[in-house]
């Protein structure tokens, strides 16, 4: 009852202070406010993004209380919030000269240095604040911020050491557990992430956050069955943890257990509101199961919930292309490209659709976009060359493949396509030269050549060359 009464009085005092200040401005009069009232007023106007009024409060407050360090700190916060970091630092540096033992000065300076990407200076000031603070939870928050700064400097080992130290102090700190997982991910150190979370679970077997992060690390390592086991333990400890169901479903889908994945994705809806991404993944599972109707239905739900979900629009384009509904396919893939114009996968889909409906020049433009945005794509040169072969001439298609080899000299798929093109064009010796390179690098791709151009095996020289490599 007492807390409620105090809260009620605080609210009354807050409203009264705000009304008095507004009245003072409207009447162009001067009223006295104590320091705490001014602090509340500054926060109020900053929360409302009314920087003009916030500045008025600060100017008036420092006239009435020119020596107040709290109000000078508020001025620094205001300057930082209004994109004047250097002025804010100037205020704080002046304040530091008079109050070198005020921890808030250093934490505020550290935050501003961080915003300016001056991470070493941020760390220096956080450590200064750390020496002045006794409260354990405050010290923990500062240490987490120091870890963040080390992450920004890509000094992940230092960040990990700090976070592990925090976990020793408080093993139940889930924020630290998640940040450790994030650090290992940034460091691209999946093996040590798995080892850490396994060791942690040995000591704290009922930590659902540890089981969950172990599942994510195992998924990254491609150990999907073990990841599912970790997610199951997570769910056993915390049944309503929707993210565990979602990630378990992802692992099931990657194991091509699409029915189980769909059911698991749907379980998330019992613990959180349905969202566009989940509907998209359900649609993708139905597409893999060869059920275009339900795939389309779920992609549609995704775009209804989030019109900016580009993957769902692209998914609908693929379904419509498969069903020879070219106009609809073009409409949907254009929607996806409007949202992500530099997405090479969308341009690839668009190029395939355009080639299919006979818009060959436009298809080549799309394929060139794929090359522009994804230089490592190892199939685009094959499709581009095939469009040129079918709609221009074989010679130009061969030239295109050679250009592809200039960009991707180790792409053996290009050699596997170049050989049959050269045979078709009567350039037997050149075909044999490229076949030799292919056989030296990857003999298994001979099957690709024969599948694409069965007549390859009617050339005795080709057969002899293949046999020679088999006998080596």
Instruction: For 315-409, list the strands marked E by DSSP.
Output: none
Percent of the chain past pLDDT 90, that is, above it, reads: 80
Location of structure tokens 């003072």: 24
Give tens-digit pLDDT for 248-290: 999 999 999 999 999 999 999 999 999 999 999 999 999 999 9
Closest CA to 257 of 220, 227, 235: 227
Section 298-310 average pLDDT: 97
In three state form, how does the secondary structure of 91-103 look?
Answer: HHHHHHHHCCCCH
pLDDT of residue 50: 87
Q: Choose the weakest-confidence range: 127-136, 218-227, 246-255.
A: 127-136
Location of structure tokens 């995704």: 302
Section 227-250 average pLDDT: 98
The verdict on residue 85 lying in a domain is yes
Instruction: HSE, CB side, 13 Å, CA atoms: give it for residue 329.
Output: 21
- Predicted confidence (pLDDT) at residue 5 exceeds the cutoff of 50: no
pLDDT of residue 13: 65
Q: What's phi and psi for 303, nearest 5 deg?
A: -70, -25
The verdict on residue 242 lying in a domain is no
Residue 274 to residue 458: CA distance in whole angstroms: 58
Q: Residue 81: which domain range?
A: 24-133
The verdict on residue 5 lying in a domain is no
pLDDT of residue 1: 35
User: Phi-psi bin for 274: left (phi > 0), alpha (psi -120 to 50), beta?
Assistant: beta
Mean pLDDT (the chain, rounded): 92
Dmax (CA) of the chain:
104
- Predicted confidence (pLDDT) at residue 139 exceeds the cutoff of 80: yes
Residue 180 to residue 168: CA distance in whole angstroms: 13
| Structural contact between residues 54 and 42, judged by C-beta atoms closer than 8 angstroms | yes
The tally of domains found in the chain comes to: 1
Section 426-450 average pLDDT: 94
The verdict on residue 77 lying in a domain is yes
Residue 431 to residue 453: CA distance in whole angstroms: 13
The verdict on residue 216 lying in a domain is no
Location of structure tokens 């993957």: 311
The verdict on residue 44 lying in a domain is yes
The verdict on residue 384 lying in a domain is no
pLDDT of residue 2: 41
Angle among Cα 199, 204, 206 to the nearest 5 degrees reads 125
Closest CA to 357 of 395, 331, 393: 331
**Reported confidence tier of residue 87, pLDDT bands at 50, 70, 90:** very high
Dihedral sign for Cα atoms in the order 258, 260, 261, 266: positive
CATH code for the domain in which residue 76 is found: 1.25.40.10
Residue 110 to residue 10: CA distance in whole angstroms: 31
Percent of the chain past pLDDT 70, that is, above it, reads: 97
Residue 92 to residue 98: CA distance in whole angstroms: 10
Q: At what angle do helices 35-47 and 2-27 cross, to 10 degrees?
A: 80
- Who's near 125: CB < 8 A, 6+ residues apart? 106, 107, 109, 110, 113
| Structural contact between residues 282 and 268, judged by C-beta atoms closer than 8 angstroms | no
The verdict on residue 291 lying in a domain is no
């Amino acid at each position: 009852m007492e807390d409620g009464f105090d809260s009620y009085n605080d609210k009354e005092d807050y409203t009264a202070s705000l009304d008095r200040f507004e009245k003072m401005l409207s009447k162009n009069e001067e009223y006295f406010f104590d320091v705490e009232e001014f602090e509340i007023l500054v926060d109020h106007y900053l929360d409302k993004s009314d920087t003009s009024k916030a500045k008025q409060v600060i100017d008036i407050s420092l006239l009435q209380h020119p020596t107040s360090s709290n109000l000078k700190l508020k001025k620094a916060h205001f300057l930082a919030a209004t994109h004047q970091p250097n002025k804010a630092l100037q205020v704080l540096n002046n304040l530091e000269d008079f109050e070198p033992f005020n921890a808030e000065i250093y934490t505020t300076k550290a935050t501003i240095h961080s915003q300016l990407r001056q991470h070493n200076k941020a760390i220096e000031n956080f450590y200064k604040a750390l020496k002045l603070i006794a409260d354990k939870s405050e010290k923990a928050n500062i240490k987490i911020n120091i870890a963040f700064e080390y992450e920004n400097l890509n000094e992940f080992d230092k960040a990990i050491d700090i976070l592990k130290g925090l976990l020793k102090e408080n093993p139940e700190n889930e924020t630290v557990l998640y940040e450790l997982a994030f650090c290992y991910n940034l460091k691209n150190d999946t093996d040590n992430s798995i080892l850490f979370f396994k060791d942690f679970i040995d000591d704290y077997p009922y930590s659902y956050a540890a089981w969950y992060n172990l599942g994510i690390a195992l998924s990254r390592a491609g150990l999907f069955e073990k990841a599912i086991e970790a997610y199951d333990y997570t769910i056993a400890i915390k049944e309503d943890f929707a993210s565990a169901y979602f990630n378990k479903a992802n692992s099931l889908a990657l194991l091509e257990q699409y029915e189980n994945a769909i059911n698991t994705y749907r379980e998330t809806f019992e613990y959180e509101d349905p969202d566009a991404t989940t509907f998209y993944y359900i649609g993708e599972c139905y597409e893999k199961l060869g059920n275009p109707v339900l795939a389309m239905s779920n992609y549609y739900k995704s775009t209804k919930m989030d019109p900016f979900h580009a993957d769902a629009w692209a998914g609908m384009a693929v379904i419509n292309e498969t069903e020879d509904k070219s106009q609809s396919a073009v409409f949907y893939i254009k929607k996806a490209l409007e949202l992500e114009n530099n997405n090479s996968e969308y341009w690839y889909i668009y190029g395939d659709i355009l080639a299919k409906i006979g818009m060959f020049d436009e298809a080549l433009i799309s394929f060139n976009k794929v090359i522009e945005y994804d230089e490592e794509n190892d199939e685009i040169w094959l499709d581009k060359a095939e469009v040129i072969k079918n709609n221009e001439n074989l010679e130009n298609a061969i030239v295109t493949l050679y250009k592809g080899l200039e960009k991707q000299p180790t792409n053996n798929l290009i050699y596997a396509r170049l050989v049959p093109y050269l045979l078709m064009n009567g350039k037997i010796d050149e075909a044999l030269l490229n076949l030799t390179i292919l056989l030296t690098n990857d003999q298994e791709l001979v099957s690709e050549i024969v599948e694409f151009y069965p007549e390859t095996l009617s050339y005795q020289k080709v057969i002899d060359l293949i046999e020679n490599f088999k006998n080596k």
